[in-house]
Amino acid sequence: MGAMCEICENRKDLELYIHIPFCIKKCNYCDFLSFPSSAEDREEYVRCLVKEIEKTGIVLNDILNNKDTYQVRSIFIGGGTPSLLSGNQIKNIMQVVQKYFLIKEEAEITMEANPGTLTKKNLSAYKDAGINRLSMGLQSADNSCLYLLGRIHTWEEFLKNYELARKAGFENINIDLMSGLPGQTMSIYKKTLEKVMALRPEHISAYSLILEEGTPFYESEEIHKKIPNEEADREMYQFTKEILAENGYDRYEISNYALKGKECIHNLGYWSGVPYIGFGLGASSYFEGTRFSNERNLEHYKKEPYVPFMMREDYTVLSQKDKIEEFMFLGLRKRAGISKKEFRECFHKNIMDVYGEVISKYEKIDLLEWIKNGEMLRLTDAGIDVSDYIFCDFML
């Protein structure tokens, strides 16, 4: 075997995503695959999920002898609101995962949790089940913003849940924040960041609100009028960068910040081409150079929670061109950038032979830069601000 690049080497690594599509109620801006549920719905769903994981594990074991080939480096239980599941339900899911997949000892195991759904009891059961990282959706510390967003919690409720999580021994917590919210002024946003900084979470994801088609926000003219203008949005974005840097958070990806050593392994894997398998309704996978995703209709999923990859409607084998493009636009999201050497080792081509013209064009106007003695290529600060525009140019 020749020299290893990050992607080839990481083929030994595997990440798992488990989707829990239930929420207490739908937020006004949300277009994720999530909906309200009864206790029976959740119980039945967990049964299907366990069946799907079991069947996938058996098939992978037979075909790929995966216990030797792949090692799970991260598991992400996302949603929806996974913290609507009881401690026992999360335990059942984790047990079946552990039975069929080889999990690294130091694996990062994240669960998304919505404020208002955490208790001392479920937190301690999640911890026992092996969850070692929580991702909490706060979005804003301002109660009127939270109300408008249709969130189920107030700032005070979030705070109680955050403290419970710390007391339960969670030492790795992410907080999700949003800027550009309807009616949000710079001073409201500043207060949110100050309050969050005082809590010292290990990780912060900070995104601008996007009005997604089909959501109540998208449909409402009132809301459109209240959205801060581009200048205000940019100001919030600049302020996020500054205050988080001042407080010791490293911006390791366009919208993600972490204290030293607390970068999200799961997300870094996604941006570095590490294969992942998704379980549950609508979950997508990237495995053995192919992409596919699960059924999005709950009734269909419940009838047939496991469908072989090759029979999925959107089963796509990535071409070399697809892989090169993904390497570029996912890799460039990382502050560390992409490696020239890795590119050569993965694709047996010199990056400048493929992208010389585009790279030079953006280098000249200071939107891309070579660092580490010309080995790593990354977006400059100004480049990050127009990253979507730059990424389009890397389509072959």
The contact set with ligand SF4 (CB under 6 A) reads 23, 26-27, 30, 32, 34, 79-81, 114, 137
Q: Minimum distance from CB of 52 to ligand SF4 (Å)?
A: 21
DSSP 91: H
Q: Minimum distance from CB of 179 to ligand SF4 (Å)?
A: 15
- Token pair belonging to 17: 């995503």
Give 282 or 289: the residue with its C-beta nearer to ligand SF4.
Answer: 282
DSSP 11: T
Q: What residues pair up with 208 in beta bridges, in sequence order?
A: 179
Give 83 or 256: the residue with its C-beta nearer to ligand SF4.
Answer: 83
Give 31 or 235: the residue with its C-beta nearer to ligand SF4.
Answer: 31
Helices (H) and strands (E) in the chain, counts: 18, 15
Is the link from the previous residue into 337 a cis peptide, with omega within 30 of 0? no
- Token pair belonging to 385: 């601000």
Contact between 39 and 84 under an 8 Å Cβ cutoff? The reply is: no
> Radius of gyration (Cα) for the chain, nearest Å?
21
Alpha-carbon distance of 134 to 340, in angstroms, equals 34
Q: Minimum distance from CB of 78 to ligand SF4 (Å)?
A: 9
Q: Minimum distance from CB of 154 to ligand SF4 (Å)?
A: 14
Give 137 or 280: the residue with its C-beta nearer to ligand SF4.
Answer: 137
Q: Minimum distance from CB of 21 to ligand SF4 (Å)?
A: 8
Residue 183, H or E segment: none
Relative to beta strand 133-139, strand 316-317 is unpaired
Q: Minimum distance from CB of 386 to ligand SF4 (Å)?
A: 27
Give 204 or 328: the residue with its C-beta nearer to ligand SF4.
Answer: 204
Give 126 or 217: the residue with its C-beta nearer to ligand SF4.
Answer: 217
Q: Minimum distance from CB of 250 to ligand SF4 (Å)?
A: 26
Q: What is the 3-state secondary structure (H, E, C) of 333-391?
A: CECCCEEHHHHHHHHCCCHHHHHHHHHHHHHHCCCEEEECCCCEEEECHHHHHCHHHHH
Give 24 or 336: the residue with its C-beta nearer to ligand SF4.
Answer: 24
